[in-house]
Amino acid sequence: MAHHEIPLSRPDISELEERLLLETLRSGRLSIGPMTEQFEKLVAARAGCRHGVAVNSGTSGLHLVLQSLGIGPGDEVITTPFSFVASSNCILFVGARPRFVDICPKTLNMDPAKVQAAIGPRTKAILAVETFGNPAYMDQYASIAAKHELTLIEDCCEALGTSYKGRPCGNFGRAGVFGFYPNKQITTGEGGMIVTDDQRLAEMCRSLRNQGRPLGWGSNGGTPTGSWLKHERLGYNFRLSELNAALGVAQMRRLDEILERRMRVARMYVSRLAGHPHLVLPTIDPESAMSWFVFVVRLAPRYTGDERDRVIAGLRRHEIGAGDYFPCIHLQPFYRELCGTGPGMFPIAESVSQRTIALPFYNSMTERECDDVCKALDVMIGQENLAPRA
């Protein structure tokens, strides 16, 4: 068992982040400045997009994209029930409704055939998530969207830095959104980024993140038209501070190193857990290179949700971080009430979500820590096997 706490995640902050943060702090410019602009350029370039719009969270980014696209009451957006709740909440924020479709058990992304079948007269957009950093089917969603004149929005919050069939994540839809919460591949503390090739969309998002100031205000705030207190539309304050952006610039400069470290940790787990009789491991498909966000294993199909919960509780008792990524969105109480969803509607997502265990996963994880996690996992699973079955 572990001799010290092994957290579920841990940000990787180097001297570069400290240096840029301190420089920014001393510069006197704490919002709307050169760091934000630099961070926007770095993320947009990585996603192969012309524009980047930095915001204060991934959730804010999704909200602005949907609102800028004019999605609203009466519209439906096709999306996955197996995700972090923000990927659906943004649809509710603008008054539209999610139309959930079930996932494919191998990739955990929406089943493209079910996406196609769910298209109806109210469908305006497809909001696709690269679950746990797996970009599988993004090209198929893009061609379904094109064929039916729908907008594809990519919630690539879990997939920074990877690509699929030669196309970078963030580049498949009209817009992509990244998130930089501390458990993501890179972090700014809190933060997010919209990426797009569509200049009008980028400008609308810039205006909405900045209190509805006129189109054309850049991230550096400089534009000759109008005053700082001219507000052309109802906007928000979703700006990212220069301090957060400084962290982002440093993290982006180190992105390849960071992704490589995460790959190393994923390999450590796979080498220890491959062939495990009670576990299903993430599918590693050479065609869809994961950007490793988290390392999520699943108990075998014969296990129940209660058994999984006890395994997680057991790991936590031994100071090993573990998470139930993700409970189904359509089963959250307010979704049941608002959208009329309930158990049995998306059986694959429900079955998978009852058996997932996110294991500790961070760049500095050692072989020893990985051993400790895998041993503790074996002990907890063993206890479930010995327990009398109802």
Binding footprint of ligand PLP on the chain (CB under 6 A): 57-59, 83-84, 86-87, 129, 155, 157-158, 179, 181, 192
Separation CA 263–CA 270 (nearest Å): 10
Would you say 37 or 155 has its CB closer to ligand PLP? Answer: 155
The Cα-based distances of 266 to 255, 272, 276 in angstroms read: 16, 10, 15
Separation CA 373–CA 266 (nearest Å): 13
Write the CB contacts of 298 (distance below 8 Å, at least 6 apart in sequence): 279, 280, 352, 355, 356, 357
Choose the catalytic residue: 124, 184, 230, 375: 184
Least separation in angstroms between CB 84 and ligand PLP:
4
| Tally of CB atoms within 10 A around 343 | 11
Write the CB contacts of 275 (distance below 8 Å, at least 6 apart in sequence): none
Least separation in angstroms between CB 273 and ligand PLP:
23
Q: By beta-carbon distance, which residue lies closest to ligand PLP? A: 58
Would you say 151 or 380 has its CB closer to ligand PLP? Answer: 151
**Which residue, chain included where needed, has tokens 């109008």?**
226
Would you say 87 or 151 has its CB closer to ligand PLP? Answer: 87
| Tally of CB atoms within 10 A around 281 | 16
Q: Which residues are bridge partners to 359 per DSSP? A: 295
Would you say 124 or 184 has its CB closer to ligand PLP? Answer: 184
Q: Please confirm, yes or no, whether 184 is among the known catalytic residues.
A: yes
Q: 237 near 335, Cβ under 8 Å?
A: no
Concatenated DSSP letters of 67-92: HHTT--TT-EEEE-SSS-THHHHHHH
Write the CB contacts of 331 (distance below 8 Å, at least 6 apart in sequence): 81, 341, 342, 343, 350
Residue 344 is given by DSSP the state T
Least separation in angstroms between CB 306 and ligand PLP:
26
* φ, ψ of residue 143 in degrees (nearest 5): -75, -30
Would you say 130 or 384 has its CB closer to ligand PLP? Answer: 130
Would you say 303 or 346 has its CB closer to ligand PLP? Answer: 346
Least separation in angstroms between CB 190 and ligand PLP:
7
Q: Is residue 178 reached through a cis peptide bond, with omega within 30 degrees of 0 on the bond before it? A: no
Q: Is 166 left (phi over 0), alpha (psi -120 to 50) or beta?
A: left
Would you say 209 or 278 has its CB closer to ligand PLP? Answer: 209
Separation CA 112–CA 118 (nearest Å): 10
Least separation in angstroms between CB 293 and ligand PLP:
7
Q: What share of the chain is helix, strand, coil (3-state, %, to 5)?
A: 40, 15, 45
Kindly list the catalytic residues.
184
